[in-house]
A and B are shown apart, each in its own frame.
Chain A
Amino acid sequence: MSDSAPQDLWARALVEQNQRWLTAYFLAATGDRNIADDLTQEVFQQALTSQQNYDPNKPFGAWLRGIARHMLFRHYRTSKRQLLPLGDKLIEHLDAVATETEHRQIDPDWQPNRLSALRACMDELTERVRAMLTLKYQEELASKDIADRFRMKTNAVDMAMSRARRVLEECVSKKLGQQENETGIL
Chain B
Amino acid sequence: MSDRLIDRWVSGTASAEDRAELIELIEADPTLVKKIFLAAEHDGLLRDYFGVMPKITLEPPQTVRPNTRTYARQRARLRLSRWLPLGVSAAAVLFFAILIINVMGSKPNPHSDNTPSVVTPEQKTTPTDKPTDFVIAPPAKNPAFPKPAYSKDIPLPPLKPQNDNVQNSQISNNMPVTNTTEKPTLKPEPQIAQVIKPQPVSGYIRLDGELKNNDNALIMRYALHIPATLPATKQLGLVLAFHGAGGNEKRTGDPILAALQQHDNNPNMVVAALKSAGENWTADDENNIISFINWALETYPIDRRRIVIQGTSNGGWLVNYFGSRHPELIAGVVAVCGGNGFQMPTKKPLNAAETGFEYYIAHGTADVDVEVKHARGVAESLRQNGYRYVYREYPGVGHNVYADKYTRNDFAAWLSRLRHKTMPLSDDDTKALAAYKKTDQAEALLLTKAGGETLIRIGGLPVEKILARAIRSKNPAVRARAIHLFAQTSCMPGASTLIASGLDDKDAAVRIAAINTLSRIGDWNDQDALIALCRFAGDRKSELSERVMTVTALTESIALRCSPTVSNQLIYELLVHLLDDDEETLRTLAFSTLKKLQNDHFGYDAQLPAKERREPVIAWRRWYIELFNPTPAKP
Name A residues whose Cβ lies closer than 8 Å to a Cβ of B.
1-2, 4-7, 9-17, 19-21, 23-25, 27-28, 31-38, 40-42, 44-46, 48-52, 54, 56-63, 78-82, 84-85, 89-90, 92-94, 96-98, 101-103, 106-109, 111, 114-115, 118-119, 122, 133-134, 137-138, 140, 143, 158, 161-162, 165-166, 168-169, 172, 184-186
Contact = CB atoms under 8 A, between A and B. Distances in A.
Going nearest first, the 3 A-B pairs with the smallest beta carbon separation are: A49-B105, A13-B207, A27-B40
Contacts, number: 263
B33 A90 contact: yes
Nearest to B90: A78
26 contacts: A9-B209, A9-B224, A10-B205, A13-B226, A17-B206, A20-B53, A27-B44, A31-B10, A31-B14, A31-B19, A32-B82, A37-B54, A38-B74, A56-B266, A82-B16, A85-B26, A93-B30, A93-B31, A97-B34, A103-B199, A108-B206, A137-B46, A168-B46, A169-B38, A169-B42, A186-B251
B58 A44 contact: yes
Nearest to A31: B9
A98 B200 contact: no
B65 to A, nearest CB: 8
B37 A52 contact: no
Contacts of A107: 197-198
Contacts of A7: 60, 107, 110
A36 B47 CA distance: 13
Contacts of A2: 211-212, 295, 299
B161 interface: no
Interface residues of B, number: 101
A175 to B, nearest CB: 12
Interface stretch (B227-235, B361-369, B449-457): B227-235
Contacts of A44: 56, 58
A161 B71 CA distance: 25
Contacts of B13: 143, 158
Given A118-B45, A186-B251, A17 B56 contact: no
B58 A48 contact: yes
Contacts of A101: 37, 41
Contacts of B22: 84
A98 B200 CA distance: 13
Nearest to A159: B4
A14 B205 contact: yes
A128 B65 CA distance: 40
Contacts of A184: 195
A57 B203 CA distance: 6
B336 interface: no
A137 B251 CA distance: 33
B220 to A, nearest CB: 11
B102 interface: yes
Nearest to A12: B207
A9 B58 CA distance: 11
Contacts of A24: 37-38, 40-41, 43-44
Nearest to A142: B13
A186 B30 contact: no
Contact of B202 (A13, A51, A59, A185): A59
A89 B30 contact: yes
Contacts of B8: 158, 162
Nearest to B58: A11
A80 B47 CA distance: 27
Interface string B78-122: 100110011000100000001001101111001100000000000
A90 B28 CA distance: 12
Contacts of A133: 46, 50
